[in-house]
Structure 1
Amino acid sequence: MSGIMPTKVSLIIPTLNEAETIGRLIQSLNGIPELEIIVSDGGSADGTVQQIIHSGVVAVQSKPGRGVQLNAGVQAASGNILLFVHADSLLVVSAIAQIRQAVIRGAQWGCCQLKFEEETRFFRVLAKTSNWRARYLSMCYGDQGIYCTRNFFDSVGGFPDWAFLEDLEFSRRARRRVKACVLKEQITTSTRRFRKHGLWRTFWKMQGVKVLFALGFPLPYIERFYRASGREKDVNGCHSHEQSSSAGQN
């Protein structure tokens, strides 16, 4: 390596029917040197794939399920640093440079600080507790923009091939090895799921999911519990892409 650490970042975005959101994220980051953008689509039927192709980024077709899609994106990645971002999030450009610097200084994995697109008291408190959890408990969730080196990703076995909660499992494996490095830069995430299903209803549903996961309940049971809240399905019986909003939010 001639003493120089590669700093190419592969940004991987899982999508399923995200035509309304994916263009904004890609446009905000396109053109950054040494940044490879990969969109891993799970079978969108709303024009998402066409947007991806026209944007000029790397397009990957995958089976649906966030864990499967993220792993498929990694297979197509050429960067030494991996960054996983949800389609309904927005990342400041300076975060890419900060991730590179963190890795050069020895960080193996971590995330950005979370910020919600709405700055009401409810969402400010939610973001603050999420950032506290990531910084002091090394539990980084998908909506916080998880990053890691390629070698570290491989060493923990990547993401489990789960439809959701893949970020909780990845963090659980990762923090057993080393503490997460939480960046100063922020990632802004959508509040659409909270607005759709209700603030407190969504909040308590997420807490219930995390408790069940921590207690070791089987994933199919946790998913049934999650779906019982009224999460929508698409016409094929698959979940609509609220998969872009992490089940681990706060």
Structure 2
Amino acid sequence: MRRLSVVLPALNEAAAIGEALSRMPASDACGMELIVADGGSLDDTALIAAAHGARIVRVPRGRALQMNAGAQVATGDVLLFLHADTHLPRDAVGLIDRAIAAGAQWGRFDVQIEGRHPLLAVVAAMMNLRSRLTGIATGDQAIFCTRALFDALDGYAPIALMEDIDFSTRARARSRPACLRARVITSGRRWERQGVLRTILLMWRLRLRYFFGADPRDLARDYRPHHE
């Protein structure tokens, strides 16, 4: 089995990261490497992550910068980028390994958004369908890729927002993704805190502006007040 390096960017995730890491497959059983790229947390994120066996990389804030820094020290043949509030399916390591063995250079999982609001299930279903049709993945879907592809693409573009869309677009130009139907479960906390419909409209507006060439720094300034 190929060695898998899981890179988890985090910022002030002490409330969620312990549970996320406790649900990870045992690294000694599957040869998995766990790296937490901390973007300057002011809480116990790094301490909790280290207690769960993660290697801590400290890097300036910025999801793309954090993921690139984690990937730089990773030793795996395959890289998996996972959000701190997202849980992998039970057989994630095996599923990824089989996808790569079948010829995939990169891929992602379907997603389920955990929460009480009925619209969250609709949002997740639309995300999965859109990704399957377009070959574009979002960070919530736990993007994975071979080390060779990541290096060939020079990793994530150091932009303030939409780094997952940019990476997927460049990866898709080389090969179609493996769209795994097994679901990662991600928290709907930010959706519910800011209002699900309001968040849907915000994300549509940001994606549309990005499509028409808006500066990701401007998009990030509009995004962060709603998600911090």
Pairwise TM-score range, normalised by the shorter structure: over 0.9
RMSD: 1.4
Does residue 58 of structure 2 align to residue 61 of structure 1? yes
Please say if 1:231 is aligned against 2:226.
Answer: yes
Conserved in 1, the CA contact under 8 Å of 2:106 and 2:146?
Answer: yes
Cross-structure match for 1:25: 20
Q: CA deviation at 1:183?
A: 0.7
Q: 2:192 maps to what in 1?
A: 195
* 2: CA distance, partners of 1:126 / 1:226: 18
State the distance in 1 between where 2:221 and 2:133 align.
Answer: 30
8 Å Cα contact 1:89-1:189 kept in structure 2: yes
Measure the CA separation in 2 of the matches of 1:22 and 1:12.
Answer: 13
Deviations 1:117-142 (A, max 9, x none): 12653111111111111111011000
Residue of 122, 125, 128 corresponding to 2:125:
128
Q: Is contact 1:140-1:168 (8 Å) kept? A: yes
With normalisation by structure 1, the TM-score equals 0.86
Asked whether the equivalents of residues 62 and 69 of structure 1 are also in contact (C-alpha less than 8 Å), the reply is yes
Counterpart of 1:247 in structure 2 is: none
**Separation (CA, whole Å) in 2 of partners of 1:73 and 1:113:** 23
Unaligned runs of 5+ in 1: 1-5, 233-239, 241-250
How much does 1:153 deviate?
A: 0.8
Q: CA 1:152/1:119 → structure 2, altered by over 3 Å: closer, same or farther?
A: farther
Task: Letter of the 1:27 partner, please give it.
Answer: S
Does structure 1 retain, via aligned residues, the 8 Å contact 2:120–2:196? no
Alpha-carbon offset, residue 11 of structure 1: 0.5
Structure 1 residue 199 displacement after superposition: 1.0
Q: Using the alignment, how far apart are the partners of 1:156 and 1:16 within structure 2?
A: 25
Structure 2 equivalent of residue 52 of structure 1: 49
The question of whether the paired residues in 2 share the 8 Å contact of 1:68 and 1:163 is answered with: no
2:136 and 2:169 in contact (8 A); partners too: yes
Find the counterpart in structure 1 of residue 82 from structure 2: 85
In structure 2, give the amino acid aligned to 1:13: L
Cα offset for 1:172? 1.3
The answer on whether the counterparts of 2:83 and 2:139 sit within 8 Å (CA) in structure 1 is yes
Instruction: Supply the distance in 2 between the matched residues of 1:85 and 1:69 (Cα, whole angstroms).
Output: 12
- Using the TM superposition, give the Cα deviation of residue 152 of structure 1 relative to its aligned residue in structure 2, in angstroms: 0.7
For 2:39 and 2:221, the matched residues in 1 are separated by 21
Partner residue of 1:12? Answer: 7
More helix by share: 2
Q: Distance in 1 between matches of 2:82 and 2:143?
A: 7
Of residues 141, 163, 166 in structure 1, which corresponds to 2:163? 166
Contact 1:141–1:168 (Cα < 8 Å) also in 2: yes
Letter in 2 for 1:23: G
Length-normalised TM-score, structure 2: 0.94
SS in 1 for 2:115: coil
Instruction: Kindly indicate whether the alpha-carbon contact (under 8 Å) linking 1:18 and 1:48 is maintained by their aligned counterparts in 2.
Output: yes
Which 5+ residue runs of structure 2 have no aligned equivalent? Answer: none
**Could you say what secondary structure the match of 1:21 adopts?**
helix
Q: Displacement of 1:215 after TM fit?
A: 0.7
Aligned pair count reads 226
How far apart are the structure 2 equivalents of 1:47 and 1:142? 23
Q: 2:23 is matched by which residue type in structure 1?
A: S
Alpha-carbon distance, 1:7 to partner: 0.6
Pair 1:192–1:119, CA change in 2 (3 A): closer
SS class of match (2:182):
strand
- Amino acid aligned to 1:9: L
